[in-house]
Amino acid sequence: AKQSGRGNVREYDSSFDSAIQDRIRLEREIQRGIERDEFFLEYQPIMSTHDRSLVGYEALVRWQHPERGRVPPDQFIGIAEECGLIAQLGEWVVRRACRDAASWQNGLNVSVNVSPIQFTTSDLPEVIKSALDDSGLTSNRLSIEITESTFLIGNQIIDILKRLRALGVGIVMDDFGTGYSSLSHLRNFQFDKVKIDRSFIWDMIKRPHAAAIVDVILFLGRRLGVDIVAEGIETSEQLAYLQERSCSLVQGYFIGRPSQTIAEKPREEVLESP
């Protein structure tokens, strides 16, 4: 039946129809992927610029699809959000990250990305509390990363964030500077960390405008007493620039790539660079 179904679509093919077909297929495959354990996590190190030691890792979800191969998160997170599967996938991510971190000998922290949808379709503080209890991970070793669009769900977001804070979980503002009314979110909630969006770091050395924005975010972080994390560092110039301006935490391919086994220290080049 599956064969003939596919044939039918092909015969009066319109690219619109096939896009919808693809989409429906992908939804089913995400569901199946969760059931069949096709998702896994990679961990990207986060480094302190003070002594170039690692402080923790960001968990990034990966999908090893049996036929499609490796599917990047940009190609399935959005769909999982729209079809409601993100609650299930997101809970799996939180639970796995907590269990992994609890087993790390170095006792470093783990940071997990959370979709805005997870705040509306599940009781996130409850899910996280249960993941912490089941794994035995101390709450201060876990952070969640949220984007500015999370604030679009309404005022109740502040109460939920406060409940998470009360558990002892760190709250990180991700992709800072790319959403709407970025500054007002910093006024309304005291984040533990703010991550400067990768696009500013990317341009910083070549474009004075991007550098100016980075400088101001670093200044703002000091005034607000919030640690600033710079992500997307790919070169020693970028690291040097940020270090000169006392950016305390950095992350990027230059420091270490995401990987299934956690790095114990930054890449050799980082330790050798001025």
Instruction: Please select the residue that binds ligand C2E; options are 29, 91, 100, 175, rule is CB under 6 A.
Output: 175
Q: Are 255 and 266 in contact (CB under 8 A)?
A: yes
Intra-chain end-to-end CA distance of the chain, in Å: 64
Shortest CB 71 distance to Ca ion, Å: 17
Query: In the range 65-104, which residues lie near ligand C2E by CB under 6 A?
Result: 72-74, 77, 90, 93
Angle among Cα 83, 85, 87 to the nearest 5 degrees reads 125
Q: Interface with ligand C2E includes 111 (CB under 6 A)?
A: no
Q: Pick one of ligand C2E, Ca ion, none as the site partner of residue 40 (Cβ within 5 to 8 A by kind).
A: none
Task: List, as one string, the DSSP characters of 131-145.
Answer: HHHHHT--GGGEEEE
3-state percent breakdown (helix, strand, coil) of the chain, nearest 5 = 50, 20, 30
Shortest CB 7 distance to Ca ion, Å: 39
Nearer to Ca ion, 2 or 89 (CB): 89
Q: Pick one of ligand C2E, Ca ion, none as the site partner of residue 217 (Cβ within 5 to 8 A by kind).
A: none
Nearer to ligand C2E, 11 or 37 (CB): 37
Nearer to ligand C2E, 100 or 175 (CB): 175
Shortest CB 13 distance to ligand C2E, Å: 31
Q: Can you give the length of the chain in residues?
A: 274
Rg (CA), the chain: 20
Shortest CB 103 distance to Ca ion, Å: 22
Q: Interface with ligand C2E includes 174 (CB under 6 A)?
A: yes
Residues 6+ apart with CB under 8 A from 120: 153
Nearest alpha-carbon partner for 112 in 36, 188, 162, 56: 56
Residues 6+ apart with CB under 8 A from 267: 254, 255, 256
Nearer to ligand C2E, 206 or 222 (CB): 206
Nearer to ligand C2E, 21 or 265 (CB): 265
Task: List, as one string, the DSSP characters of 212-262.
Answer: HHHHHHHHHHHHHT-EEEE----SHHHHHHHHHTT--EE-STTT---BSSP
Shortest CB 61 distance to ligand C2E, Å: 4
Q: How many CB atoms lie within 10 A of CB 192?
A: 14
Residue with tokens 């050798």: 272
Nearer to ligand C2E, 13 or 269 (CB): 269
Q: Pick one of Ca ion, ligand C2E, none as the site partner of residue 253 (Cβ within 5 to 8 A by kind).
A: ligand C2E
Nearer to ligand C2E, 186 or 230 (CB): 230
Residue nearest to ligand C2E (CB): 252
Shortest CB 94 distance to ligand C2E, Å: 9
Q: Are 166 and 130 in contact (CB under 8 A)?
A: no
Instruction: Please select the residue that binds ligand C2E; options are 232, 241, 266, 270, rule is CB under 6 A.
Output: 232
The secondary structure element, H or E, covering residue 24 is helix 15-35
Q: Are 189 and 178 in contact (CB under 8 A)?
A: no
Name the site residues for ligand C2E (rule: CB under 6 A): 44, 60-61, 72-74, 77, 90, 93, 113-115, 145, 174-175, 198, 232-234, 252-253, 258
